[in-house]
Structure 1
Amino acid sequence: MVEAINLALDHAMKKDPDVVLLGEDIGVNGGVFRATQGLRDKYGLKRVMDTPLAETLIAGISVGMAAQGLKPVAEIQFMGFIFPAMEQLICHAARMRNRTRGRLTSPMVVRAPFGGGIHAPEHHSESTEALFAHIPGLRVVIPSSPVRAYGLLRSAINEPDPVLFLEPKRIYRAVKQEVSENTALLPLDKCFTLKEGNDLTLISWGASVSETLQASKTLEQYGVSVEVIDVATIKPLDMETILTSVRKTGRCVIIHEACRSFGVGAEIAAEIACEALMDLKAPIERVTGYDTTMPYYRMEDHYLPQPDDIIKASLKTLAYH
């Protein structure tokens, strides 16, 4: 995935001279995870800019650049460091179109590695996507594979409004797929049906899609026909795809590694209950992280949803009559 992101940035910069990159250590070092490696040498200091350790500055400069016709792609080193940038993202980037009655927009992307699973210290493993999904005017996109990372990032850069592009870092180098300049751009605001089935719908996004797919294979060995949906864009939600699947299967499990309370999974469950209650054959199950700070590495696997957790919740909903 990290190489797919590098390719997406490279191809976008080659196609459009208005695309510029900025962030901490993204130039000389290529970023902590090397997502921008080699791009400064290729495009120069004016288009790949190392910044001070100042997230407020990074977001604020991006808003100004975007308002004046550039297409900045800013990197926040870890999602746990994004909070100083929230004032700029929420009060300015997300409101620019509304504030100027459409005269100005914010064609900017903010990239941030997020989620647990790499044995990182404090503030390096947060999954706080729900905070930003609550903000009108701000898209929140989360890829789950190299092909989707490439296609969604290219589309995000082309978007005239701000996009928060969250990259699940524990699968940066865990999944391999063929990606090239000819790889298709993918639509934002759409879920992807990764596997079709009739008995049960599994819904997830980001790194947890990997465990969800693993669980689906085991369930199929039990004779269960499983449909797997990758939400991909959590704001705005493509509820049409989700509702179509749940109306077909009648049973649903939602999986995410963020805290359980007030999360995106709760919003999806509420929408299903509102729009497809009479199609449900069992209560909706959620497999999530806990309402605690992400623990240090010894407890990470206990915190993160595992395939066995998903299988257990799936069997529970399948057994309900």
Structure 2
Amino acid sequence: MTLSVILLMGALALGSARAVSTVAFISNRDGQTQLYLLDVDHGVVHNISRKIDDDSQLEVTTFSWSPTSEHIAYIGAARLNFDLYVLDADGAELRLLAQTRAADVRPSWSPDGAALAYHATTAGLNNDVFTIALDASTPRNLTRTFAGDNHRWPQWSPDGQQIAFYSDADDALDIFVLDTMPGAAPRNLTNGEVFARAPDWSPDGARVAFNTFGILYTVAPDNRHITELLRTEDGFRRTFWSPDGTQLALSWSGNLHIVSADGSHPPRQLTEQLTVAEEITWSPDGSRLVFSGFTASGSRDLYMINADGSGLRRLTTHPALDMAPAWRP
């Protein structure tokens, strides 16, 4: 075991004081897209990906930390198959949970870390929303009897009682919320008012952020009230809530911006002269952000910046593509 690996594993073992400096990310620096851990304070990088057998290395497409930070769920591709795996945070054990047949799945953990929600491609190339418990062998299809062909991007609510997703069930792309109890019927939160996608719960569960053609909205699940927060010309794909729920981070026009969650302040631009990818993560205390950015030379590395826009620092300098950072909870 190398000294750098020993240092990183020691940092992970020290608990919350060190865990807040750990970021997972995807990179092709070893040839295939694999999963790495980075200690942002010391620059130590460690590949935690594992082979599924002697010949096959999984290509990681998306991933997410468990709320307890003990596990990482990710979509791994091998031999043209896309499956849902759970990996111990130290890389010690890898388990296959379910087949997804879709590369763009972003698994969502239940708040207690006992189950995962995800979408998978089913017969007829439709997409349905599933949940599976870590100790179960059979996934549960939540949208099998629901109208429409594509139900995607499920996100568990902070209280664990609901799952938000977007769907074409009502002949448009809408945000739906489904109670997790068996037999519950999905509720349409947007009712065709906007072209909605990529739902993202606020930390308190009172609002769901989503976007459509460069416009940022939130909707309240209890009364379906929709609020427009931001309108851009260039568009963006994802938003990222701050841990306290007062702000959202996003990338548009190639720069990192912070938007007030209640619309009370104009957006703040934190970066310039650096093309920010649509992959941003807040530190658990909300004081810093890590993101993937392109330089003028075309390299893609990880950067860190304070939430007030100060202290921009480049974290990785590898010529490969470093992307999709996610801070350890």
Q: Which has the higher strand share?
A: 2
Q: Scaled by the length of structure 2, what TM-score is found?
A: 0.26
The answer to which structure, 1 or 2, has the higher relative contact order (CA under 8 A, 6+ apart) is: 1
Q: Scaled by the length of structure 1, what TM-score is found?
A: 0.27
